[in-house]
Amino acid sequence: MKLLEVDDLHVTVDGQKILNGLSLTIEAGEVHALMGPNGSGKSTLANVLAGRPGYQITSGTIHFKGEQLKDLKVEERAHLGLFMAFQYPVEIPGVSNMEFMKAALDAQAAAREEEPLSAIEFMKAVRKIAEELDLNPDFLKRGVNEGFSGGEKKRNEILQLLLLQPTLAVLDETDSGLDIDAIQTVSAGVNRFRNTDNGLLLITHYQRLLDYIVPDVVHVLANGRIVRSGDKGLALTLEEKGYAWLSTS
């Protein structure tokens, strides 16, 4: 089943063309890696998928689970099972992490007409995931990402991923800022999340992550479009030869 289908997508931000004819299809059960030089448009794609205001689709279409994404509000996309782990998660002082995650879960349950978790079930679930990710439970009481280190913020994103159990998760450079041990813990968490019904889009600069979370397909984005796709080997070649190799090969 097709989870995500991006077809000939053109996007402008602040009047500037960023994506120029990007096409990408992710089937259920697949992991896709998206690589590419700084400024090539990777985060732009993630933001467009999530529905960030100010990102204008000038042509092309995005379907998620068969629905036109651009007709859906940001929160409706989340309710439908889309998740984005931010490259730079925002700090929200005053809103506790715990309170925030309960509100998110409740909102999603309500939208899907499901019973919300009880407070106790919720606490149990969160504590268990925090433990798996080696996150000190004290983080749950603090303000969302408030004063978290770079790596702690990234782990907090994965905590939310594991709690919300979306169908498609876009992880924007989750590995950047993680120490070597944390990459392994986080990857183990993500691998536990994987199943035949969901999908992953991993945005990364480093092939090392792909040793832990093995992708089915690797894409290279340059100047707003996918210029090369291949298997895991493509990432290794890029690591060795750099992006310049693409234009010569």
Partner 1 sequence: MNVAEILNDLPRRNMAWLDSNEAAERLSASLVSGVVKEQWKYTPIKGFIEGFNSSLANPVDMPDPVVMAIDGAEQPQIELVPFNAAASEDLAYLGNVLHDGIFSERYPLADLTALTAGNGLLIRILDTPQQPLLIDFSHTGCSPVVISVAPNAHLELIETASAVGFHSEFIRIDLGEHAVLHHGRSALAIATGHWSLLQVSLAEGASYSLQSYATGAQRRRIDTQVLLRGRGARVEIDGAYLVEDGCHLDQQTIIEHEAPDTFSKQRFHGIGLGKSKTTFNGRIHIHRNAPRSDAALTNKNLALDPEAVINTKPELEIYTDDVKCSHGATVGQLSEDAIFYLRTRGLSDESARAVLATAFLKTCLHGRLAKTVEQRFLEALSMDSPGSGR
Ligand X SMILES: Nc1ncnc2c1ncn2[C@@H]1O[C@H](COP(=O)(O)OP(=O)(O)OP(=O)(O)O)[C@@H](O)[C@H]1O
| Nearer Cβ to partner 1 (135/238) | 135
156: contact with Mg ion by CB under 5 A: no
In the chain, at which residue ranges do the beta strands (DSSP E only) sit?
A: 2-13, 16-27, 31-35, 55-64, 67-68, 82-85, 92-96, 143-144, 168-172, 199-203, 217-222, 225-230
How many CB atoms lie under 10 A from the CB of residue 195? 10
Angle between the N-to-C axes of helices 150-164 and 119-132, in degrees from 0 to 180, rounded to the nearest 10: 130
Give the interface with partner 1 as residue ranges (CB under 8 A). 50-53, 73-75, 77-79, 83-84, 86, 89-90, 92-95, 100-101, 103-105, 107-108, 111, 143-144, 160, 164
Site residues for ligand X, window 29-48 (CB under 6 A)?
Answer: 36, 38-44
Nearest approach, Cβ of 164 to partner 1 (angstroms)?
7
| Nearer Cβ to Mg ion (89/108) | 89
* Closest by Cα among 146, 31, 48, 61 to 97: 146
Site residues for Mg ion, window 84-143 (CB under 5 A)?
Answer: 87
14: contact with ligand X by CB under 6 A: yes
* Closest by Cα among 157, 14, 2, 127 to 67: 2
Q: SS3 of 11, please?
A: strand
Scored b (16 or more CB within 10 A) or e, 161-182 reads bbbeebbbbbbbbbbbbbeeeb
207: contact with Mg ion by CB under 5 A: no
- Residue 108 near which of ligand X, Mg ion, partner 1, none (CB within 5-8 Å, type-dependent): partner 1
Nearest approach, Cβ of 7 to ligand X (angstroms)?
19
Site residues for ligand X, window 77-106 (CB under 6 A)?
Answer: 87
207: contact with ligand X by CB under 6 A: no
- Site for Mg ion, rule CB under 5 A: 42-43, 87
- Footprint of ligand X on this chain (CB under 6 A)? 13-14, 16, 18, 36, 38-44, 87
